[in-house]
Structure 1
Amino acid sequence: MTDQIKIGFAPTRRNIFSADAAIEYADKTRAKLDELKVNYVDIKDANADGLLYDDDGMHKIAAKFQAAHIDGLFLANENFGTEFECARLAKQFNVPVLLWGPKDEAPAADGSRLRDTQCGLFAIGKVLRRFNVPFTYLVNVDIDDPEFTRGVEDFIKVCNIVKTFKQTRILQVGPRPFDFWSTMVNEGELLEKFNISLSPIPLPELVDEIHDLQDKKDPDIAKTVAYLREIADVQIADKDLNMVAALKVALKRKMVQYGCNAGAIQCWTALQNEIGILPYASESLLQDEGMPVTCETDIHGVISELLVEAATMGEHRAIFADVNCRHPENPNGELLQHLGVFPFSTAKNKPILPKSHFVFDYPGSVGFEAQDGHYTLCRFDGDHGEYSLLLGNAETNPGPYEQGTYVWLQFANLNRFETKLVYGPYIHHIAAVRDDVVPVLYEACKYLNVKPDFYDPIEEDVQAYLRGDITSIIKK
């Protein structure tokens, strides 16, 4: 998965320390990146050393990285390093920056030292601050230390989050339902602050696409129908199943047409008057294809999904749920549920497509319980010009059967979580993924101009993980 992200690799040295030792450690770093299958752009052609240390080399390196459209910059401090060249280079790119240097060897018998790498890291960090360049620090460990591998892999995830966020374009199908004032967003602000753009289309445009696909008997409809019959217990009429498939294909075509990586739809009630089904099974299919679509035109909700999935490098698909009600017996248990909008791949049992649901008397919903495990919860939201990312963990907990897609989660303290949602700026919709990605989401916030916000007091644990002091923030 690391090949999705392109890293500019800029090892650096300072002239008064051993150039030979810096070259040796730069090559060791290259070998390790190769071993980890990192997709990186090298600078061996910048000068004879293949290292950053002067203006001439810096300009060549910057041009090469710009031409390659790097997603992140790795400053590897192979001896003391040239702090001002590192900062000048980093300033030219609006991408995450990783700073690391290999642990110094013991002084020679005569008391001399070859590299002074750690000392140079302090200098580089200070000058990056002077240049207002946010950066991620990977502690001064040996290159074969497991912490180096984890730090590089986590940094790549951070780069993926930032890249996804900054390249997001969302297909907005219809306005929000009138009753959902909680899902209103500031379209201009999303573009101005974050480069997130919306592609709004009216419901009739989508409906026309559906009918056109059906009239032409588009083969993707039949393929989708066959796939649904294979993976689910289909209890709806053939004509309704055909409409579920046609809606899925139409949504995907419209996202491709408008260059979108996600969507949000006015899921009720105008849509049912036009095509006679709920959109949730169609959305669940798209969730599995990495093109999430949220209901109630929840723009901030689908951004939350994109972020939490990017944190897993697309390895895990996110569920998108209403936070519904407390567990009848467990004081820290909570129901996350919806009529669908959970990817089929997250099902614990065989999914069903029921004839109708207790909320809406229409076909098109999905029913299953989500898989057990530890979940990361995430909600991007904001108001009054300020945006934050709600973060935390929970784990599955047994609970009563529910219609629709659902999972019961146990929180460390449900009152804290509940109070965060009530005070806001969040609402009752949340994205969750079966993985421990809170630290990389937290680290990504410094590059997104978004404030990280925890519903549990875990910030010190997250920082300890990022320093390498602990291996996980989830209490096993």
Structure 2
Amino acid sequence: MMKNIPDVKLGVIAVSRDCFVISLSERRRQAVVEAYASRGRQIYECKITVENEKDAMRAIEDVKAAGCNALLVFLGNFGPETPETLIAKYFSGPVLYAAAAEESGDDLINGRGDAYCGMLNCSYNLGLRKLKAVIPEYPVGTPEEICDMLDDFVPVARAIIGLSSLKIITFGPRPQDFFACNAPIKGLYELGVEIQENSELDLLVAYKAHAGDERIPDVVADMAAELGHKGNQYPSLLPRMAQFELTLLDWAEENRGARQYVVFADKCWPAFPKEFGFEPCYVNSRLAAKGIPVACEVDIYGALSEYIGTCITGSPVTLLDINNSVPADLFRQEIEGKFNYTLKDTFMAFHCGNTPLCCLREGAIKFQLIQNRLLENGGEPDFTRGTLEGDIASGDITFFRLQSTAEGALRAYIAQGEVLPVATRSFGGIGVFAIPEMGRFYRHVLISKRYPHHGAVAFGHVGRALYTLFDYLGIPEVDFNQPKSMLYRDENPFA
């Protein structure tokens, strides 16, 4: 299995203003390290306490030599403004700034560190130098509270590191009359992401070159074991899909170039199924489960969003259409009175079959009903087989997307909610979703701000980490599902 998200190795550098007692900062640093170790987690303790610029350079070299790729700069006392901010400038990974809380009302003379004050000057100097850093909502705390900040920081750091070495590989342009997810790639370069665009013909040539690959039987066996007897409805189809899976994995290895991590955005219709002999959805789901999202319909920013979700959660994610309303009769029968949602809070999110099997209640390989109507005249399915279908498992979710506008500006949205334990009575990979105030969010964010119909889904409530990441990346607009008490800018107050 390809490892496609980074491991975060944390380090901590304590800083001390030279007019304060240096041992105060060192003792507080050690207390943080010990508290973090008590949680079963590791952080490298740099023993060089930074009081001046030369100390800062030596400390950076020390943590780099230890293999650290993310850093806590810890203000054990007030801290030296210039040296502590130069750490963020010269360290090549994400940096968290946090400060020590005072410890005892009985020790506020020699034991007072004034780090509460020092964080103000630290943030001011970061701004002067236009340096990026993560600063928690309340960045001052006890050792245990600093450890909580580190736990929140790790998934954000993992995403920052991942994006800095990510390549998005695409095959084919968007389908005609289906341009909703098309967007300028300029924003990718602003984020430090590379892109390699290819044609469907390139992919077809590579696929044919994998015919008879000696690895195919092993992949087929793995697919069959994953699907089980009930899910493996077309056993004869598995060799074709195994051949395609190997094609994508080999392409990633051969074309990653100087980048460590790869995701795909592929054209999957209308030509694909007829020429390749199957729908690619199940293969896409398997790669997503391995941490290599494959966005449908050449959705470049969908692939980017999926990768962000994979880094944040460390688990598989999916990409779904914000698809259809929940019928009123189904709502009355299955939701009303059982869950605290209105009809307009609910919707169905769907895609043909790209959601990993582990995220479904029960999945099976089926055929793409819509494509079957279009390409096989609704007859016995042949090359429109290959979707992975089933109701999405219930539980907490975060619906989100990082997107470029047609004018090239980056923006994002985040909305937390859940998948309800309600049978969809429909086809595809689909679920009944509920997000508080979804109706207003749909109208005044998704429609008003011209977001496409695809949204990334992380399985869990990770809005806090996503917001921290988007803020770090400098995304100027990050929208969310506002409560009733907050009007959207374009919302009619008399409605």
TM range, normalised to the smaller chain? 0.7 to 0.9
Please tell me the residue identity of whatever aligns with 1:24: R
1:53 Cα deviation from its structure 2 partner:
0.5
Q: Aligned pair in 2 of structure 1 residues 200, 106: CA closer, same or farther (>3 Å)?
A: same
1:3 Cα deviation from its structure 2 partner:
8.6
Q: 2:13, 2:109 → 1: CA distance? A: 30
Partner of 1:402: 426
CA contact (8 A) 1:172 1:265 kept: yes
Equivalent residue in structure 2 for 1:13, among 6, 11, 16: 16
Please tell me the residue identity of whatever aligns with 2:27: E
SS of the residue 1:4 aligns to: coil
The gaps in structure 2 that reach 5 residues or longer are 329-342, 377-383, 487-495
Q: Aligned pair in 2 of structure 1 residues 396, 354: CA closer, same or farther (>3 Å)?
A: same
Q: Aligned pair in 2 of structure 1 residues 110, 229: CA closer, same or farther (>3 Å)?
A: closer
**What is the RMSD computed on CA atoms of the aligned residues?**
2.7
Partner of 1:381: 403
Partner of 2:316: 317
Partner of 1:302: 303
Q: Aligned pair in 2 of structure 1 residues 303, 30: CA closer, same or farther (>3 Å)?
A: same
1:278 Cα deviation from its structure 2 partner:
0.9
Please tell me the residue identity of whatever aligns with 1:311: I
Partner of 2:273: 272
Q: Aligned pair in 2 of structure 1 residues 439, 80: CA closer, same or farther (>3 Å)?
A: same
CA contact (8 A) 1:177 1:268 kept: yes
Equivalent residue in structure 2 for 1:344, among 332, 339, 357: 357
CA contact (8 A) 1:232 1:353 kept: no
Q: Aligned pair in 2 of structure 1 residues 73, 424: CA closer, same or farther (>3 Å)?
A: same
1:452 Cα deviation from its structure 2 partner:
4.5
Q: 2:235, 2:140 → 1: CA distance? A: 62
Q: Aligned pair in 2 of structure 1 residues 446, 66: CA closer, same or farther (>3 Å)?
A: farther
CA contact (8 A) 1:442 1:452 kept: no
CA contact (8 A) 1:304 1:431 kept: yes
Partner of 1:255: 252
SS of the residue 1:310 aligns to: helix
What does residue range 182-193 of structure 1 map to in structure 2 within 5 Å? 182-187=180-185, 189-193=186-190
Please tell me the residue identity of whatever aligns with 2:354: V
Q: Aligned pair in 2 of structure 1 residues 222, 13: CA closer, same or farther (>3 Å)?
A: same
What does residue range 68-79 of structure 1 map to in structure 2 within 5 Å? 70-79=68-77
Q: 2:469, 2:437 → 1: CA distance? A: 25
Normalization by structure 2: what TM-score? 0.84
Partner of 1:86: 84
1:395 Cα deviation from its structure 2 partner:
1.5
Please tell me the residue identity of whatever aligns with 1:280: C
1:107 Cα deviation from its structure 2 partner:
5.1
Normalization by structure 1: what TM-score? 0.87
Q: Aligned pair in 2 of structure 1 residues 150, 232: CA closer, same or farther (>3 Å)?
A: farther
Partner of 1:470: none
The gaps in structure 1 that reach 5 residues or longer are 45-49, 462-476
The superposition leaves residues 292-343 of structure 1 with CA deviations (integer Å, 9 ceiling, x where unpaired) of: 101110011011111122111x1x3112111111111223210101111101
SS of the residue 1:210 aligns to: helix
CA contact (8 A) 2:233 2:366 kept: yes
Partner of 2:493: none
Residue 214 (structure 1) aligned with residue 211 (structure 2): yes
CA contact (8 A) 1:182 1:427 kept: yes
SS of the residue 1:137 aligns to: coil
Q: Aligned pair in 2 of structure 1 residues 128, 233: CA closer, same or farther (>3 Å)?
A: same
The superposition leaves residues 10-57 of structure 1 with CA deviations (integer Å, 9 ceiling, x where unpaired) of: 10112222222222212212223333455544432xxxxx30111221
Partner of 2:199: 202
Q: Aligned pair in 2 of structure 1 residues 415, 130: CA closer, same or farther (>3 Å)?
A: same
SS of the residue 2:140 aligns to: coil
Q: Aligned pair in 2 of structure 1 residues 159, 456: CA closer, same or farther (>3 Å)?
A: same
Q: Aligned pair in 2 of structure 1 residues 102, 218: CA closer, same or farther (>3 Å)?
A: same
Partner of 2:27: 24
Percent sequence identity over aligned pairs: 20
CA contact (8 A) 1:357 1:365 kept: no
Deviates more, 1:389-398 or 1:57-66: 57-66
Q: 1:444, 1:296 → 2: CA distance? A: 26
Q: Aligned pair in 2 of structure 1 residues 371, 413: CA closer, same or farther (>3 Å)?
A: same
SS of the residue 1:377 aligns to: strand
SS of the residue 1:378 aligns to: strand
